[in-house]
Amino acid sequence: MLRLQKIALTQFKNYPHFELGFSQQVVGICGPNGVGKTSLLDAIHYLGLTKSYFSRHDEQVVQAGCQGFRIEGHLQLGQTQTLITCILRENGKKEFAANGTPYERLSAHIGKFPVVVIAPDDAVLITGDSKERRSFIDQLLSQIDAEYLQHLIRYNRYLLQRNALLKDPAVATPSNRSLLEVLDEQLATEGQFIYESRCAFLTSFIPQVIEEYRSIASSDESPLRETISISYQSHLQQEPLHSLLRHSRQADLGAQRTTKGTHRDDLVVTMHQQPFRQLASQGQRKSLLFALKLAQAAVIKQKKGFAPLLLLDDVFEKLDDNRIKNLLQKVGSEAGSQVFITDTSADRLDRQLSNLGIPFQLVSL
Ligand SMILES: Nc1ncnc2c1ncn2[C@@H]1O[C@H](COP(=O)(O)OP(=O)(O)OP(=O)(O)O)[C@@H](O)[C@H]1O
Ligand SMILES: [Mg+2]
């Protein structure tokens, strides 16, 4: 079992200095708007994934008017305790250490203490463009397969180089042409690996998501009315990336970017054979979001042998009581994760967690 026992924050968002201990598997965090509930979850996210879930740049989470921040977390996995330290130095350099030993590369930490977040803005995963769904899959695969992350990093680097070359007015020179050949070769190797990893993973993941959706959306009394289906779409289903790049070379030179590849993959969701994002109600979208995230947690648990930390930010809005009950039941007892749940209403949180019938800790900020 993975447990966060204690966290200490310095100059992190609205916290000048703050320490909190966690004694239970389920932790409710309540308080009015702006008190720092989401910020606390974000600090936990840093401990697992070395970065913010909500802010693109580390500087944005440094307390206004200060320089640098520090997050410390005491994590327990089985009998082993680990002190994780994340420091953003005044010069903007981020340092990460486990029990005082610094990591050479931040990516080496990813997957050690997995974290799954469900937050209101995650709705873009359903309603937004394909980039959102790709980064969901990438983040998930990176947490369970360190090799995948390295291939992805290289793919993105070659893609940037190839796109820069396609924009270069001197692209037609013989030396640039041969550079393009080399980049195509490298991009194709990495892209093919990514495609095959995504295929293998999604073959079992998609049915899991559909099953999770079914169990969140169905109630004891009424059978499920919605049927959804999810499919993986990739240019690489037509032909290998190597020949795709060769065939699209002219088009790419015209467009000045790489038009074919795994950076254009998508997950397409339909309900009653129509696009889910157009047809679904807000509650249905939210249910699908939870299904994706719960399936993510389940996969991590399968691969790692222990469940990730679950961070649920403001999840009660827009869900009917039945769906809340199903969701909490799943995260609280079945998933085996330590769960952190925020809500503005202490009463509602207390009531929902009490209904679960398992011990919980309520923190008022
Ligand atoms: N870099 C920063 N420096 C100082 N304060 C910040 C920084 N970033 C965010 N804040 C502030 O931190 C406070 C807490 O924000 P947070 O999003 O954690 O609130 P919350 O408790 O989740 O509120 P809500 O219920 O509205 O979601 C806010 O007042 C926000 O403006
Ligand atoms: Mg919040």
How many A from CA of 81 to the centre of ligand 2? 29
Secondary structure (3-state) at 222: coil
**Distance between terminal CA atoms of the chain?**
26
Minimum CA distance residue for ligand 1 atom 12: 14
Ligand 1 in reach of 170 Cβ (< 6 A): no
Predicted model pTM = 0.86
- Over residues 86-140, the pLDDT tens digits come to 999 999 999 999 999 999 999 899 889 999 999 888 888 998 999 999 999 998 9
How many A from CA of 119 to the centre of ligand 2? 9
- For residues 198 and 234, is the Cβ–Cβ distance under 8 A? yes
Q: What is the pLDDT of residue 224?
A: 56
- Over residues 303-334, the pLDDT tens digits come to 899 999 999 999 887 677 777 777 788 777 66
The domain locations on the chain are: 1-114+308-365
For residue 39, which atom of ligand 1 is closest to its CA?
18
For residue 54, which atom of ligand 1 is closest to its CA?
17
Q: What is the pLDDT of residue 358?
A: 78
How many A from CA of 340 to the centre of ligand 1? 17
Q: Which ligand is nearest to the CA of 14?
A: 1
- Over residues 243-291, the pLDDT tens digits come to 999 999 999 999 999 999 999 999 999 988 889 888 888 888 888 998 9
Angle at the Cα of 294 from the Cα atoms of 291 and 295, rounded to 5 degrees: 80
365 vs 354: CA distance, rounded Å: 20
Of the pLDDT bands very low, low, confident and very high (cuts 50, 70, 90), residue 66 is very high
Q: Considering the chain, what percentage of its residues have pLDDT values greater than 90?
A: 70
Q: What is the pLDDT of residue 209?
A: 94
Q: What is the pLDDT of residue 356?
A: 78
Q: What is the pLDDT of residue 318?
A: 65
CATH number belonging to the domain at 1-114+308-365, selected among 3.30.1020.10, 3.20.20.100, 3.40.640.10, 3.40.50.300: 3.40.50.300
- Over residues 140-196, the pLDDT tens digits come to 998 888 899 999 999 999 999 999 999 999 988 999 999 999 999 999 999 999 999
Minimum CA distance residue for ligand 1 atom 14: 36
Minimum CA distance residue for ligand 1 atom 26: 33
Q: What is the pLDDT of residue 231?
A: 95
Ligand 1 in reach of 34 Cβ (< 6 A): yes
Minimum CA distance residue for ligand 1 atom 7: 13
Of the pLDDT bands very low, low, confident and very high (cuts 50, 70, 90), residue 38 is very high
pLDDT beyond 70 at 222? no
Minimum CA distance residue for ligand 1 atom 8: 13
Q: What is the pLDDT of residue 19?
A: 98
DSSP H stretches of helix in the chain:
37-49, 124-127, 130-144, 146-167, 174-217, 241-247, 249-255, 276-279, 282-304, 321-329, 346-356
